[in-house]
Amino acid sequence: MRYISTRGQSAPQSFCDILLGGLAPDGGLYLPESYPQVSRADLDAWRKLSYADLAYEILAKFITDIPPADLKALVAKTYTADVYRHARNGGDATQITPLTKLEDGLYTQELSNGPTLAFKDMAMQLLGNLFEYVLDKRGESINILGATSGDTGSAAEYAMRGKHNVKVFMLSPDGKMSAFQRAQMYSLTDANIFNIAVRGMFDDAQDIVKAVSNDATFKKQNKIGAVNSINWARVAAQIVYYFQGYFLATQSNDEQVAFTVPSGNFGNICAGHIARMMGLPIKHLVLATNENDVLDEFFRTGVYRPRTSVETSVTSSPSMDISKASNFERFVFDLVGRDPVVIRELWSKVDKGEAFDLSTTVYWKNKPKFGFISGRSTHIDRINTIRFAQGRYNVMLDTHTADGLKVALENRQPGLPMIVLETAQPAKFEETIREALGTEPVRPADLMGIENLPQHVVVMDPDVNAIKQFVVERI
């Protein structure tokens, strides 16, 4: 399996070569030259597999430069009930991502049973083990520069803490995450973890990461790698739970399902798109945004209009407070027939903060075959949905999953199972849970009082050169 850039001006690479980087040298994102196809026989054989065995079968189609026995061992080490120990709602921890049945044909899928209580753990724990394996084989080290709107940072830090040959420099928007999210990251004392709070929004932090990634000389000299959702390995790992959710929600492989996915950076739902392209019987991918609805606007109108930090709202579902969706380029690449010339033209506008409009192009006529539907949710919507889910189903939702359920309920179809991907546990957003329900969300015992621990963070302006200097002084 070889990987190509969406912008078409970088040489094809192997999985291990792109694992340690982020953007391709031409500024594009890596995708497989073609998506491996899953047969009915594959689905029949995979239906009864454990999560770890299912992950191996799927990832082996994308990772052909790690010996099968080694890959199987890495996957088995990652997807254990001990690592994903925070199962709740009566879910079976051995399933890793169990379904919670709300009513006939309506489910949530628990993706936040990992160490940081967010779906990012599903890919990041694997990424940590893959990084360590490849670096050891190559005798190399890496310095990870990432940006987070809330959950990616802590998931990356918990996956990489204590790993040899790895240092992590994580940017986050100063004061814009929940207290729990900040505490998870800033309370870590591992010598290889560095937190930088950027004065601004998530997009400011993400722009710095992209600027560094595009500085090929600096990146090479300082061995800069990426764990943000632009990293292909994360997307690949997330494909697995779409297959698992499908198998748990259906009785046979003749059935179709729909998934609703709370979406900010488009990485989570991009994995669903690829699962569907591989042949998983997904009829619809329902994209849910919060007030920062740049993606909903695109799927409704064909106009992709990235917004500035000033135009980006600070909301009670902060992990989706994003107005430039990094992974969106991967989907548009497929939408325009995998034509890198078109992508270069479109993203020459995006990279300048400008919009593009596909509504009058031939490409927009292709949109229905990709199965996307979209909708948005506001603060009052998520408060009402949290109350509704608690009252009707006796299930407590976090704010982002509430956005997902609200949009899912608007787009259900008779006879089509709807699976809402849960993104985090309610404990990460206590303030909004108190507002909605007047009660405290339960948190795991090992995370009690985390906000009271000493915090280690440096606050900086969104200055690329200053942050480069910070990194250089510590590697």
Tens-place pLDDT, residues 303-339:
999 998 889 898 999 888 888 898 999 999 999 999 9
Q: Is 428 labeled as catalytic in the residue annotation?
A: no
Say which amino acid occupies 323: S
Rg (CA), the chain: 21
What pLDDT is stored for residue 87 in this prediction? 76
* pTM, full prediction: 0.91
Q: Kindly state the average pLDDT of the residues 45-65.
A: 97
As given in the structure block, the two tokens for residue 287 are 């994209």
Q: Is residue 365 over pLDDT 70? A: yes
pLDDT-derived band at 352, boundaries 50, 70, 90: very high
Direct distance between the N- and C-terminal alpha carbons of the chain, in angstroms, rounded to an integer: 33
Query: Which range (22-26, 236-240, 392-396, 451-455) has the least confidence?
Result: 22-26
In the block, which residue shows the tokens 């590697």?
475
Identify the pLDDT of residue 462: 93
Which listed residue (72, 120, 406, 428) is catalytic? 120
Structure tokens at 233: 């390995």
Confidence of residue 89 (pLDDT cuts 50, 70, 90): low
What pLDDT is stored for residue 91 in this prediction?
Answer: 61
Length of the chain as a residue count: 475
Task: Give me 306's structure tokens.
Answer: 């990235």
Give the pLDDT confidence of 401-445 residue by residue, as tens digits.
999 999 999 999 999 999 999 999 998 899 999 999 999 998 888
Average model confidence (pLDDT) across the chain: 93
Tokens coding 11: 């040489």
pLDDT of 123 strictly over 70: yes
Q: How confident is the model at residue 210 (pLDDT cuts 50, 70, 90)?
A: confident
Beta strand 458-460 with 193-198 is parallel
Q: What is the mean pLDDT of residues 380-392?
A: 98
> pLDDT tens digits, residue range 223-254?
998 777 788 999 999 999 999 999 999 999 99
Check residue 93 and give its pLDDT.
66
Residues 6 or more apart from 101 whose CB is under 8 A from it?
107
Phi, psi of 97 (to 5 degrees): -125, 65
Q: What does the pLDDT read at residue 149?
A: 78
Bridge-partner residues for 357, per DSSP? Answer: 303
Task: Please name every residue paired with 285 in a beta bridge, in sequence order, or none if there are none.
Answer: 259, 372
